[in-house]
Chains A and B, each alone.
Chain A
């Protein structure tokens, strides 16, 4: 009994190529049917290996991969009803766009007329009709990507797996094709799993962002959860947009605690269960929550923490200005100041300022 659902469950999935180290190390994850899921992590973190195991190009060393309620370990990609879009697309160089797209139907033994008709319908869907008779080498990167997408989609998969699909494109096209991927996903109504190492790509596209490190999932959740509420230092630093500070707990007072180093930062407890005096704790403060005030001026209301800092560097970013500070000794500390605010009273490198934020902005990390 085959199911059309494309929900995926990974249960204790491990993969080792050499029998010693696990490239993927006990991954558990549920991906809903029709979700857009992004795996993100540095190269070598095992994200592509997970993708290839779901696709059926690698077998897990241990664990189960369940698609639509059926354990698919050991099945061929076609039996799993998954399709993969390869990094740099792997279009067949000797076949035209139409023949590339019709390939899956050809190996199924469909008649030439039938398969070319189906391919033409798919070509229209990805808006490549005028390029149908071209070879892959005669197409631009964006067009090649659409061919790859169409070639995978014609098999009517319930899960589409994309291995760094945008890495071969230049910046402008990447943003454009990102939208196109999302549009195709909604049009096809199937599960997309997308591997990337670009944070922006992941949070722009995904319903479910999975952050990985060394074969393990560090955090999985909605894009906004992962970005705004990172579990730990790794996720906070990897997703970016956060300042991570480290210090010893000086005082625990009910719903908040005070961090000693560098000096008296009050942090609400939030989700963190227990904090004891003397613990070494990491906290995160969003870079755009940090305000910069000249020494001696009043802090904005509710802004309790203020740390004296020197401006190390300034980068103009358009709608905001990136100000790098020496607030904490060992870690990078950055404030994203809105352009208009910054230029109302601009700082220069070497200025001493107070980096300040509202108490609620500090987030304790695991």
Chain B
């Protein structure tokens, strides 16, 4: 900021500027139209409707051993969190959590790589590009449950065992890839192709121009694609249901728990998974901020 100020011409008249003039620039407090209050109320209601149900779950997960599935709260403790990870009767939470994270990471990596390559591929128009695009987007429209069912049937017909790292991975990619590609297209649309030409003009090879120009410039967008891939996979239910095989992913495990677990440990699980989601989102946004900060600090004169 100081560098910007240094740019401004120093004028001898600066002394004569009186601070009173700022009064006119600052918005007056009483001047908000009535529509502001209507819209603010609407927004508040929206936020409550969005987060209220989730907060019920979070609050109820902190009951003590007497706790039940409905309000009112009975005591406060971390009992049900301990219960969640120690009791076998609640289900294989740890194992399914493990699988879900691993699967999400694999999906993320494949989504980022393929979306980036698709972004590169679609820089120029080619024969049949519209067709390829619609075929890709088509699987977004297909109902997830049906697609999962189909994938499961296909594996059966081919005599393959369905498992979370084969059939479920494929079924999830049919969902995350088109999303990733769409996000990538939006990111690429702001990429100035003259940068690539400039790199070529200055003697960079294709690989150098990708490594030194494209990837760094697109980095925040790639993080966004990764975030999409991860979250879509982490809470994917419909496509995993018929394709995960004998070992459940976390959403499937939660679902089966809703059928046979009748204790607040179910809510504790909800709280834990939410925390994990927030960590992932926080880490992604943090990375984007860090990239921008790094550029800013490099640039400090």
Chain A residues with a Cβ under 8 A of chain B: 55-57, 76-78, 83-84, 86-88, 90-94, 96, 103-104, 106-108, 130-131, 133-135, 138, 151-152, 155
A337 to chain B minimum Cβ distance, whole angstroms, is: 39
B243 to chain A minimum Cβ distance, whole angstroms, is: 40
Contact between chains at A151 and B194 (CB < 8 Å): no
Q: How far is the CA of A113 from the CA of B212 in the complex (A)?
A: 18
Residue B298, interface by CB 8 Å: yes
Q: How far is the CA of A93 from the CA of B217 in the complex (A)?
A: 7
- The A/B interface has a contact count, at CB < 8 Å, of 79
Given A77-B203, A104-B203, A138-B3; A90-B299 close (CB under 8 Å): no
A residues within 8 A CB of B204? 103, 107
Given A86-B194, A131-B301, A134-B301; A94-B295 close (CB under 8 Å): yes
A247 to chain B minimum Cβ distance, whole angstroms, is: 48
A56 to chain B minimum Cβ distance, whole angstroms, is: 8
B298: contacting residue among A77, A107, A131, A133, CB under 8 A:
A133
B293 to chain A minimum Cβ distance, whole angstroms, is: 12
B residues within 8 A CB of A93? 195, 217
A83: contacting residue among B201, B212, B217, CB under 8 A:
B201
Contact between chains at A94 and B217 (CB < 8 Å): yes
Contact between chains at A94 and B216 (CB < 8 Å): yes
Q: CB-nearest residue of chain A relative to B203? A: A78
Q: How far is the CA of A77 from the CA of B199 in the complex (A)?
A: 10
11 contacts between A and B (CB under 8 A): A77-B200, A77-B201, A86-B197, A88-B194, A103-B202, A103-B212, A104-B202, A107-B203, A108-B203, A130-B301, A133-B301
A residues within 8 A CB of B4? 138
B residues within 8 A CB of A92? 195, 198-199, 213, 217
A residues within 8 A CB of B201? 55-57, 77, 83-84, 86, 152
A22 to chain B minimum Cβ distance, whole angstroms, is: 22
Q: How far is the CA of A78 from the CA of B199 in the complex (A)?
A: 11
Contact between chains at B202 and A151 (CB < 8 Å): yes
B residues within 8 A CB of A77? 200-203
Contact between chains at A107 and B208 (CB < 8 Å): yes
Contact between chains at A155 and B197 (CB < 8 Å): no
B200: contacting residue among A76, A91, A135, A152, CB under 8 A:
A76
B residues within 8 A CB of A57? 197, 200-201
Q: How far is the CA of A152 from the CA of B199 in the complex (A)?
A: 11
B118 to chain A minimum Cβ distance, whole angstroms, is: 22
In chain B, residues 165-199, which have Cβ atoms closer than 8 Å to a Cβ of chain A? Answer: 192, 194-195, 197-199
**Most chain-A CB neighbours within 10 Å: which of B202, B208, B301?**
B202
Having A107-B203, A135-B296, one finds 16 other A-B pairs with CB under 8 Å, namely A56-B201, A76-B203, A77-B200, A77-B203, A83-B202, A86-B197, A87-B194, A88-B194, A90-B195, A90-B198, A94-B216, A96-B298, A108-B203, A133-B300, A134-B299, A138-B3
B residues within 8 A CB of A55? 201
Q: How far is the CA of A135 from the CA of B212 in the complex (A)?
A: 16
Q: How far is the CA of A92 from the CA of B301 in the complex (A)?
A: 18
B residues within 8 A CB of A96? 298-299
Q: How far is the CA of A103 from the CA of B194 in the complex (A)?
A: 15
Given A92-B213, A106-B212, A135-B295; A155-B301 close (CB under 8 Å): no
In chain B, residues 90-111, which have Cβ atoms closer than 8 Å to a Cβ of chain A? Answer: none
A98 to chain B minimum Cβ distance, whole angstroms, is: 10
Contact between chains at B197 and A90 (CB < 8 Å): yes
Chain B residues with a Cβ under 8 A of chain A: 3-4, 192, 194-195, 197-205, 208, 212-213, 216-217, 295-296, 298-301
B residues within 8 A CB of A108? 203
Contact between chains at B202 and A155 (CB < 8 Å): yes
Contact between chains at B212 and A107 (CB < 8 Å): yes
Contact between chains at A133 and B199 (CB < 8 Å): no
A residues within 8 A CB of B217? 92-94
Q: How far is the CA of A133 from the CA of B299 in the complex (A)?
A: 5
Q: How far is the CA of A88 from the CA of B213 in the complex (A)?
A: 17
**Most chain-B CB neighbours within 10 Å: which of A76, A78, A87, A90?**
A90
A165 to chain B minimum Cβ distance, whole angstroms, is: 13
A residues within 8 A CB of B295? 94, 135
Q: How far is the CA of A27 from the CA of B98 in the complex (A)?
A: 68
**Most chain-B CB neighbours within 10 Å: which of A77, A86, A94, A134?**
A94
A99 to chain B minimum Cβ distance, whole angstroms, is: 8
B62 to chain A minimum Cβ distance, whole angstroms, is: 45
A57 to chain B minimum Cβ distance, whole angstroms, is: 6
A residues within 8 A CB of B198? 84, 86, 90-92, 151
B113 to chain A minimum Cβ distance, whole angstroms, is: 21
Q: How far is the CA of A189 from the CA of B298 in the complex (A)?
A: 34
Q: CB-nearest residue of chain A relative to B204? A: A107
Q: How far is the CA of A86 from the CA of B194 in the complex (A)?
A: 7
Q: How far is the CA of A63 from the CA of B32 in the complex (A)?
A: 68
Q: CB-nearest residue of chain B relative to A52? A: B197
B residues within 8 A CB of A78? 202-203
B207 to chain A minimum Cβ distance, whole angstroms, is: 10
A residues within 8 A CB of B194? 86-88, 90
Q: How far is the CA of A77 from the CA of B209 in the complex (A)?
A: 14
